[in-house]
Each structure stands twice: as C-alpha cells, then as structure tokens.
Amino acid sequence: MAMAHILVLPMPAQGHVIPLMELSHRLVDLGFEITFVNTEAHHALVVAALQAAGGTSAMAGIHLASISDGVEHDEDRKDISKLVDSCTRNMPGNLEQLIAGMEVAGRPKVKWLIPDACAWWSFEVAKRLGIRVVPLWPASAACLAISLQIPKLTEKGLLDNKG
C-alpha cells in the first residue's frame, strides 16, 4: 500500500516536465502513489512515446492524467504569454474537477500537490481542497534569483513591460 497520494503538476513548457517526472519516479521508489498531471497536448505526446517504446513499463507506479490548458490552437502553445494566460484561466477549474473525479472513482485522497512553481494558480486550488503544497522550481537557482528581482528592477525603472 502506498504511503500517500501525491499529485505532481508540471508547467506545460520545455524543460519543466522531465524534472518533475524524475522526482515522481523517486517518490514511487519510496512508496508514494503518484498521479502525474499533464495538459492534454503533453499527455498525448507522453502516451505516444510510451507506446513507441513498447508499453508503459517506464511509468510503473505513476498514474498519468490530463487536463485541458484551454489553448484552442496548437500554434498558440508556442507563444508563452498566450499559454500562461490560458493555463491561468482554465487549468484551476480543470484541476479541481480532476481531483474530485479521482475521489469519486475510488482513488485515495490527494494529500500533497507538487506543482511547478510557475503553476502558482494551483496553490489556491490546493488550499481550497485542504491539500498540502510543495512547489518545485525546475530551472536553475540563478534563474529563480533573477526572476525574484524583476519587481524591484521594474520599480527602479530598469525594466518595463517590454523588457
């Protein structure tokens, strides 16, 4: 029996999925039950890659799930501002529905959410549902440090909305 059910949620962008998937595998090794949530577009890519590799053995112990990011045209996923805007507007409700649906289906209650720190909107969903949150920053520490300074740089007039 798994120790606890953890939902892992990467931001649907290049370089964000693999670090959270690696963490998920390590957590499975420790006895946790993992549900890894991708957007529908990324989910289709993962499933296709697994089938091309000859099955789903690479995902042993990890349940794959998907929710819509709300992006209407695949081309818009290449525009980070359109992707982030759509994710922020559409994914909170879809995540909440997924979690409720898992419980109705008899899956163990989600105890922890490990979201990509860029999926900040998921923190409020978890709070509403009584789920503990441990965000993960998949990029380098230097990138995080710079990102945290942007408000100060904007305030001092060194950056504007055009960079």
* Residue pLDDT, tens place only, 94-136: 999 999 999 999 999 999 999 999 899 999 999 999 999 999 9
Residue-wise pLDDT tens digits, 79-91: 667 777 777 888 9
Q: Which two tokens stand for residue 131?
A: 């789920």
Closest C-alpha among 51, 40, 57, 55 to residue 91: 40
d(CA 8, CA 34): 7
pLDDT at 57: 47
Does 34 score more than 50 pLDDT? yes
Q: Which helix (H) or strand (E) holds 39?
A: strand 33-39
Q: What is the mean pLDDT of the chain?
A: 84
Contacts of 9 (CB under 8 A, 6+ apart): 20, 37, 95, 113, 114, 115, 116, 119, 122
For the stretch 154-163, pLDDT in tens is: 899 888 877 6
User: Is residue 35 over pLDDT 70?
Assistant: yes
Q: What Å distances lie between residue 117 and 21, 53, 162, CA to CA?
A: 15, 30, 23
